[in-house]
Chains A and B, each alone.
Chain A
Amino acid sequence: MRFFEYEAKSVFEKHGIRVPKRGYTTKPAEAKRLAREIGCPVALKAQVLVGGRGKAGGIRFANTPNEAEELARLMLGTKIQGLNVSGVLVEEKLKIEHEYYFGITIDRSKRSPVVLASSIGGMDIEEVARDSPEKIVRRYVDPVLGMCEFEARLIAKDVGFAGNELAEISNAIMKLWEIMHEFDAELVESNPFVKTSEGVFTAADARLIIDDNAIFRHKDLESRVATVGELNKREMEAREAGMSYVELDGEVSIIGNGAGLVMATLDMVDLFGGKPANFLDVGGGASSERMIKALKIVGSHPNGKVILINILGGITRCDDMARGIIEARNSIGINIPLVVRMVGTNEAEGKKILNEAEIEVLDTMEGAAKKAVEVSQ
């Protein structure tokens, strides 16, 4: 779950990390008021859940409140990398003397949280990481112990801080860790973390991504999923039904049981020259109701010309899946051809149910994928 910059900044502020004077709004007139209140010049920052917004014109500057209103009007409702800009953050324009990078993420291969820090922060941090990796300080944090203060000091020292600044920066790093831990985050980041010309350290940007598997223990975030608009209607429906769904734009709709199997099915459709319309994993031991929901979701995809169903029933029962397919056809209607591959537990019964309804059942994934592609073309 990705937080918007303005949300992440609120979290930073609550945890004692300095952030710029700011105000979030979805209305141009309000942007004007905020600009007046904060004092121009101000930055207007598009609030979208993608990186690289600076390079895409998502950060503009206004010298007067009227200009702020105009810029806000220009930015709101536009798209950055395909996502709608639904709000802007109006912020004091900082006089930046130096940009740093501070982030905490998870190193999967080391099975450990890792702090990354650099005295070369800003938009080009990825190039720095690639071309001068030695300029990025890296420290692994024990996930059982958490971060110790001496570690935060070591990191700050390695980035180049000393004297009074050492305490302030190591404190900020400890706060980032606190946020990481408290929020079950996959990533906490400030890039750039700046020193202003007045010698003040501020998080000019803030990013926070929370582990989706941990949302159950962050009750206040559960309702946020529905309202934020990261997921479209079909994706929300799938999520509520406990299924994984990713929308693509091809013509072959795909339903299967098991993420790896479904990915492999998409790959096979592509191998035979077709274009997948989606990924949908009904999950283990799915009921016939789940199959009905799955068919309803993929059935409403605007480009779908055929639905390919690939079931390898281990715990999942083929007869349950078959019943779900028939019921979906009877209740919501399926307007496009179905290509079904179904093997495993209760396959004979499942086949019988489908054959009686004049739906052919294929034995191999390849045969089914090939047929589905043919039908779609």
Chain B
Amino acid sequence: MAILVSKETKAIVQGITGRQGVFHTKLMLEYGTKIVAGSTPGRGGETIEGIPVYDSVREALDEHDANASIIFVPAPSAKDAALEAMDAKLNPIVIITEGIPLHDELVIARVASEKRTKIIGPNTPGVITPSECKLGIMPGHVFKRGNVGIISRSGTLTYEIAANLTKSGIGQSTCLGIGGDPVTGMDFTEVMEMFKDDDETKSVAIIGEIGGDAEERTAKYISETKFKKQVVAFIAGKTAPSGKRMGHAGAIITGSSGTAESKINALRDAGVGVASKPSEVAELIGE
């Protein structure tokens, strides 16, 4: 079954005419994703990679059937693009954009919660259900369909681990990036709830990093709900110093909270196999 995206997904690309929009629309189409239209205010009437462009999401929906959106709009206007997509009832909405102001992300998250819209990101490589749909910027060829659900806060580290799994003959049901920012549209636990109910997913791999307490809360969730499926994890940033942002806006140890050690201990206490290096994730799943 997989989660969130499938061959039924029909997506609108917001910000389709920008450099990233054009480039990744082409790659998503090559992967087989059903992109029905694009939206960039003022560019209605154009065509990008054969996809019709409209001035607004609403106009696109007047002509086409769509149930999802992917946003490549630059940070200053990303909140508005997300609000527009939510207003049009598109769900899920992938926000690729990095650098969105925190206060904008809080508003996006609040409105999404009230409208029960699933937001993937911001600052994410997106989501992929191998062989069916890629709504994102990840290299499709490193993924292979299988039974492991991946939930990650990073981009290339996810590809590294997915590639290792694929090479070991272990495929993935759905791989999703919740994003590298301090405020994410979805939590690890919300995605795990979806994997829990997905027959195709037999194990879950969590790729976390320093900053915040998402992994600790996930450990609590696993214990309290007695999560039945195997969970393994890799946490990046054991060597990160306190007080410094390590690339991602959300990857920062403040004082003593948000350390890799705290996350690894919490997960191990909950029975999660925590890899000491990325390649070990495949070994742990194999067990």
Contacts and interface: CB of A to CB of B under 8 A. Distances in A.
A and B pair up: yes
B279 A257 contact: no
A229 interface: no
A108 B103 contact: no
A103 interface: no
Nearest to A106: B102
A196 interface: no
Contacts of A111: 105-106, 109-110, 113, 183
Given A184-B102, A279-B240, 9 more contacts: A108-B183, A108-B250, A109-B214, A257-B156, A261-B160, A266-B240, A279-B247, A284-B155, A365-B160
A281 B247 contact: yes
A267 B238 contact: yes
Interface in B126-178: 137-139, 152-160, 163
Nearest to A142: B110
A212 interface: yes
Interface in B238-287: 238-241, 244-251, 255, 260, 276-279
Given A111-B109, A244-B247, A366-B279, A259 B160 contact: no
A127 B277 CA distance: 36
B44 interface: no
Nearest to A276: B239
Contacts of B276: 271
A17 to B, nearest CB: 20
Interface residues of B, number: 61
Question: What is the interface of chain A mostly: helix, strand, loop, or mixed?
Answer: mixed
Contacts of A258: 154-157, 247
A268 B106 CA distance: 34
Given A213-B102, A216-B76, A144 B236 contact: no
Instruction: Indicate the size class of the contact surface on chain A.
Output: 35 or more
Interface in A306-321: 312-315
Nearest to B212: A108
B183 A106 contact: yes
Nearest to A344: B139
Nearest to A280: B247
Contacts of B251: 259, 263
Of listed A260, A262, A344, residue having the most chain B CB within 10 A: A260
Contact of B139 (A126, A181, A267, A314): A314
Given A212-B249, A213-B101, A268 B156 contact: no
A143 B113 CA distance: 12
Given A244-B247, A246-B241, A213 B99 contact: yes
B160 A264 contact: yes
A184 B103 contact: yes
B269 to A, nearest CB: 19
Contacts of A344: 139, 159
Nearest to B111: A144
Given A109-B214, A213-B102, A345-B139, A263 B247 contact: yes
Given A106-B182, A344-B139, A214 B101 contact: yes
A112 interface: yes
Interface string B90-117: 0000000001111101110111010000
Contacts of A143: 103, 106-107, 109-110
A312 B260 CA distance: 23
A248 interface: yes
Contact of A246 (B113, B182, B244): B244
B210 interface: yes
Q: Which 4 A-B pairs have the closest CB atoms?
A: A259-B247, A260-B154, A258-B156, A260-B157
Interface string A132-165: 0000000000111000000000000000000000
B75 A216 contact: yes
A217 interface: yes
Contacts of A214: 101-103
B43 interface: no
Contacts of A244: 245-247
Contact of B106 (A106, A216, A279): A106
A314 B137 contact: yes
Nearest to B213: A109
